[in-house]
Amino acid sequence: MKWTAGALLLVLLGWVYKSYNPLDYAWFPKCPFRTLTGLLCPGCGAQRAVHDLLNLDILSALKENALLVLAFPYLLVALVFKLASPLSGSMLKWRKMLFGAGAIKFILVLVMAFWIGRNVL
């Protein structure tokens, strides 16, 4: 039951974000970090990027939030690892390399660099 409800919610949100551009409607949530500081956080532009991706406008999505767009393939790989069972020795090796402690540290540095870079450049 909870999977069905989750899937329906995901479909509904997908329809909302495909149909309505967050730039044009004030009822979409605003970033509290940007509201308080005037600076962009790593997630700023994510709603607009999702809207653009759902409408197959990849270049506009990259302009809104490149980190989110580039993270989608990584998240799809994570989903494959989550759904695949049992994992072969090769898949375990790849999972450790892509999602282990070293990868987590790399992603943290990448997000911090993106956060600083989008506010400095």
Q: Is residue 85 pLDDT above 90, yes or no? A: no
Does the reported pTM lie above 0.75?
A: yes
DSSP characters for 23-72? TT-TTSPPPHHHHHHSPPPTTTTHHHHHHHHHTT-HHHHHHHHHHHHHHH
Average pLDDT, the chain: 94
State how far the Cα of 54 lies from the Cα of 101, in Å rounded to an integer: 32
Mean pLDDT of 1-25: 93
pLDDT (0 to 100) of residue 54 = 97
Nearest Cα to Cα of residue 31 among 43, 22, 19: 43
Q: Is residue 88 pLDDT above 90, yes or no? A: no
Instruction: Provide the b/e sequence for 26-41 (b: ≥16 CB within 10 Å).
Output: eeeeebeeeeeeeebb
CB-based contact 31:48 (threshold 8 Å): no
Q: Is residue 8 pLDDT above 90, yes or no? A: yes
Q: How confident is the model at residue 94 (pLDDT cuts 50, 70, 90)?
A: very high
Mean pLDDT of 76-86: 88
State how far the Cα of 43 lies from the Cα of 64, in Å rounded to an integer: 10
> What confidence tens digit (pLDDT) does each residue in 21-75 have?
999 999 999 999 999 999 999 999 999 999 999 999 999 999 999 999 999 999 9
